[in-house]
Amino acid sequence: MTIKRVVEQIFNIIQRILVKTKWKNSAMSALNANELLYEEKSLYKPPLEELQNVLQSILTRNFENVTVNVSQCPNLSASEYGLMDIGLGGCPTLLELGGAPYLLPKVQKDKLYDIKAICRKSMGEGKILAVGAGAGPYPLRNTNCEGIFNLSISAQDEIKNGSYTAKITGLQEDCLLEPIPDTETRCALLLNLYVCRGEPGPVLKINCKKRTGHMNFIECIRKGLYEKYQDKCVGLGGLFLLKNGKAHQHVMRDFSRSPIHTESELNQWLKFFEMPGTLHAVGTLVTHEHDLDLRLQHFHSFSRTKWGGHYHYDTTPDTIEYEAYFNVAERIVRVDKPKTTHKFGRD
């Protein structure tokens, strides 16, 4: 047998193993949504007009040009926004699923969830829009990945999926953004969603240009709301566009083979990029953990090119431009809260 023939046989064997492994992973079932623990608490819901004034004051400390209005929500399903329904109205809810302790220090791969089933159980009958940030369905990609979630569920449980995964690929460790098909409704490990009926109605519209302070866009809003409302827990969710400038974002590498115990080890494992706008970021923020071990802020972004990932902060203060559409949530639903927790890996 020639060397060429031996190499061909080895290659074919490897290919069959990879295909078999990918098929096995893709067939992995999500946990039964009815067997998970659901906890629910009300959130303090200030009037949008009050929040308008609060956010105008907050953001002016951090940006040179700030405009905050209460306005009718534009059609967020238009291509310039990219969501899977037109608005952020109707039973506005924050939903947190799993948590960082299922990823760190060692991954718990059994924590695979069905977003559709969990949203349906949390919201009851009717149509649903769910947008937010979490860990992507690793069986779909056969590797760990970021999830940028953006899907609508009809009253008849039909899915329109505008979600993406972002993963690390190739020897150069590039970012690869890929759409998630309508047939895939799983996520892994952790997820923060803003969930509503996708109805039109009033929202907070925010425009900010030229950052003069040190806080990132979301951190500035969250800390300012905490300063104003103190013990009252306030939550927002929706979409922001990074229209101009660049952002420091990460994409997770494949699951670490060794435990990760510190922020330093975590940052060595993550792959960081400076990603150019336009970025479409979806997610949530909340002012307190509310005795539910909540993640206080979490936004992931997608683009019309190859870029997507976890938003940290912008890197171009002189040219940065944000445009945001947020609604205030009336409740938080906490699902499958980790029994043993820690506080790192939540930036």
Structural domain boundaries in the chain: 31-335
CA dihedral of 306, 312, 317, 319, whole degrees rounded to 10? 20
Strands 321-328, 202-211: pairing is: antiparallel
Q: What integer is the mean pLDDT of 86-104?
A: 98
- Mean pLDDT across 52-78: 98
pLDDT beyond 50 at 20: no
For a pLDDT cut of 70, what percent of the chain falls above it?
A: 92
Q: Which two tokens stand for residue 116?
A: 């559709």
Is the Cβ–Cβ distance between 61 and 220 less than 8 Å? yes
**CATH number belonging to domain 31-335:** 3.30.1330.80
Instruction: Give the pLDDT score at 231.
Output: 96
* Inter-CA distances, 259 with 106, 109, 187, 256, 269, Å: 5, 14, 22, 7, 11
pLDDT digits 0-9 by tens, 299-342 = 999 999 999 999 999 999 999 999 999 999 999 999 999 999 88
Strand partners, 157: none
SS3 157: coil
User: Is the confidence at residue 284, as pLDDT, over 90?
Assistant: yes
Between residues 3 and 173, the one the model is more confident about = 173
Q: What is the pLDDT of residue 12?
A: 54
pLDDT for 26 equals 60
pLDDT of residue 218: 98
Distance, in Å, from the CA atom of 135 to the CA atom of 112, rounded to the nearest integer, reads 10
Q: Note the pLDDT of residue 345.
A: 73
| pLDDT at position 121 | 98
Which bin fits 220, alpha (ψ -120 to 50), beta or left (φ > 0)? alpha
